Amino acid sequence: MALAEHACTRESAVAARIDVSPCNACPVRSMSVCSALEADELKRLADILVSVKVDAGHTLFAEGDGADTLFNVTAGTMKLYKLLPDGRRQITGFLLPGDFLGLSINDTYAYSAESVTPATLCRFPRRRLEGLLEDYPKMQRRLFAMASSELAAAQDQMLLLGRKNAKERIASFLLMLSERARRRGYAENPVHVPMSRSDIADYLGLTTETVSRTFTQLKTSRAISLLEGGKVRLNDMEILQELAEGA
Amino acid sequence: MALAEHACTRESAVAARIDVSPCNACPVRSMSVCSALEADELKRLADILVSVKVDAGHTLFAEGDGADTLFNVTAGTMKLYKLLPDGRRQITGFLLPGDFLGLSINDTYAYSAESVTPATLCRFPRRRLEGLLEDYPKMQRRLFAMASSELAAAQDQMLLLGRKNAKERIASFLLMLSERARRRGYAENPVHVPMSRSDIADYLGLTTETVSRTFTQLKTSRAISLLEGGKVRLNDMEILQELAEGA
DNA sequence: AGCGCGCCTTGATCCAGATCAAAGCGCGAC
DNA sequence: GTCGCGCTTTGATCTGGATCAAGGCGCGCT
């Protein structure tokens, strides 16, 4: 698997707050879809990559927009969400470096995407990607595998939203962040929690007040410690695990 | 697209309550994955199909079982669910004819599958299917498309579980059943609701009592009528639509 | 420094839906 | 038929988390 960086087409900014730069900031190696690709596949892929930088709180696209672009997060954290007409919001997922957005079959996005922190993404025109998939079935398989594991995560989240109480939700959330950090080779404890209370609430189907109170409870019971800089130390993974699974 | 039926290997029953019969009961055409396949692809697929009949309430497989088989529902309704250690249950989906189960990348199933009504399914050994996918990229694409649309449905369900109230959940549920019936060419109104109150409750993150009361409320407000035989008439789709979207 | 604005926390109260309890109501077995 | 069992409905009560309300705290801006 190549670690080399690939030069990419520079492109003018597409919106006021989006800064498009060459792809050096976006090594192809960060895209998990590309592992197991051959050199010529990588080369061809690199040709259509464009790196995009956004501030925190930037809306990349909104539910219903034409889905002509596929993104891969290379730095920062993104959130995906759906809204009800009256403004109620459900965050369906947080994306970390390596994750994809816009893997839609339909011609419009099924959710909105917004940055939680300043973020960098790779952009692919979807049309060109599709041509690529025709030629390289391995990539097709990788995409399918990713969709499958997203689906599994979605099912876990349904169990959480439908049947877990507030404490179990928060414990599950922290363990998930910890596990994801571990798998990406970052420090998994203390966990970095870059998102706001209100984002956490909208992800877990709670309110900010309940999220805040539950953090306080877990802190009081010594299960976790709240550190500065949005870090949370998990003092006893096993206790949290039991909590999360509702044992 | 072929409508012809394909002969299949007969196989002895794999469990007391499972009745395995030739594939005449399971025309290939019922598998949505096969549309757009060529004749030789269909023929090869037919070679590995086995039809399986189960009673209502039969557990096809449980979460954690080795995932060596892929199923396609050809008749009846199935439910997929996850359990917490203390028995709380979340049903993550109901499957109608044409839907797939066991589309897992992992080597164990991520959920349990049980029949809601008597059901018939097609069985594929997963290993043989994988060989097939290597050779026929179109099928790969179809599978990816299916996973994508399941993912979109899962995100809708997260919005429902995280942010909708009981009335909105029931309205959304009925509209979903109606829409699925319509797309399959069945009567969409009245809708056939084959699952028990407790299955509905575990799908919508409610209790049987709340489901029952909410049906009664909707009936009292004339939005729906409860007919015999598990049928529900949607008296005013538009009112229900507004309810479902929380407008 | 002082101001303003977003967050976050904490407290008081409320309420939708859970829980507990008790009938109905089919329906299959005998 | 009638017995028993599982499913559904309905009623009474309870409660976890929502809602309403008020500060506190950090941070960027002037």
Same domain, B34 and B77: yes
Name residues whose C-beta falls within 8 Å of residue B50's C-beta, 6 or more positions apart in sequence: B8, B9, B10, B11, B20, B23, B122, B123
pLDDT (average), residues B79-85: 97
Q: How far, in Å, CA of A190 to CA of A186, rounded?
A: 10
Question: Is residue B177 situated within a structural domain?
Answer: yes
A174 in the same domain as A129: no
Ramachandran region of residue B204, left (φ > 0), alpha (ψ -120 to 50) or beta? Answer: alpha
Q: What is the pLDDT of residue A44?
A: 64
Q: Is the CB of A167 under 7 A from strand D?
A: yes
Per the CB < 8 Å rule, is A147 touching B149?
no
Does residue B168 fall inside a structural domain?
yes
Same domain, B121 and B202: no
At B44, list the tokens. Answer: 């090869």
In this structure, the number of other CB atoms found within 10 A of the CB of residue A66 comes to: 10
A190 within some domain:
yes
Q: Which residue of A has its CA nearest to B203?
A: A162
Q: Strands across the sheet with B231-234, in order? A: B191-192, B231-234, B224-227
Cβ-based neighbour number of residue A22 at 10 Å: 16
The secondary structure of B123-164, three-state, reads EEEHHHHHHHHHHCHHHHHHHHHHHHHHHHHHHHHHHHHHHC
**Same domain, yes or no: B44 and B110:** yes
B80 and B120 together in one domain: yes
pLDDT at B10 exceeding the cut of 90:
no
A22 CA – D29 C1', rounded, Å = 33
DSSP B49-81: -EEEEE-TT-EEE-TTSB--EEEEEEES-EEEE
- Please tell me the predicted confidence (pLDDT) of residue B38: 56
Contact A162 B202 (CB under 8 A): yes
User: How far does the CA of residue B103 sit from the closest CA of chain A (Å)?
Assistant: 8
Residue ranges of chain A with pLDDT lower than 50?
Answer: 1-36
C-alpha A18/C-alpha B119 separation (Å) is: 53
Q: Which nucleotide is nearest to A198 (CA to C1')?
A: C7
Considering chain A, what percentage of its residues have pLDDT values greater than 90?
62
CA-closest candidate to residue A22, choices A42, A7, A44, A37:
A7
A145–B140 C-beta distance less than 8 A = no
Contact B102, B109 (CB under 8 A): yes
Q: Does residue A77 share a domain with residue A38?
A: yes
Task: Identify the CATH number of the domain in which residue B224 sits.
Answer: 1.10.10.10
Residues A23 and A82 in one domain: yes
Do A189 and A103 reside in the same domain of the chain? no
Per-residue pLDDT reduced to its tens digit, B129-182: 778 777 777 788 888 889 999 999 999 999 999 999 999 999 999 999 999 999
d(CA A73, CA A69): 13
More confident residue, B90 or A10: B90
The domain that contains B116 carries what CATH number?
2.60.120.10
Which DSSP helix (H) or strand (E) runs through A71?
strand A69-75
| A83 in Cβ contact with A59 (< 8 Å) | no
B159 lies in a domain? no
A151 found inside a domain? no
Residues A122 and A66 in one domain: yes
- Same domain, yes or no: A95 and A45: yes
Looking at residue A40, what is its pLDDT? Answer: 61
Note the CA–C1' distance, A228 to C9, in angstroms. 16
Residue A154 belongs to a domain: no
Mean of pLDDT values over B197-224: 97
CB neighbours (10 Å) of residue A165? Answer: 12
Nearest to B141 by CA among A40, A122, A136: A136
Q: Is B146 domain-assigned?
A: no
Q: Name which of B110, B56, B50, B62 is nearest B78 in CA terms.
A: B56
Task: Count up the domains in chain B and report the number.
Answer: 2
* Residues A57 and A123 grouped into a single domain: yes
Tell the residue number behind the tokens 């990607």, with chain if given: A129
Q: Where are the alpha helices (DSSP H) in A136-236?
A: 137-163, 166-183, 197-204, 208-220
Which of A139, A156, A178 lies at the terminal end of a domain, its last residue? A139
- The parent domain of residue A203 ranges over 164-245
Instruction: Judge if A109 and A180 occupy the same domain.
Output: no
Report if residue B122 sits inside a domain.
Answer: yes
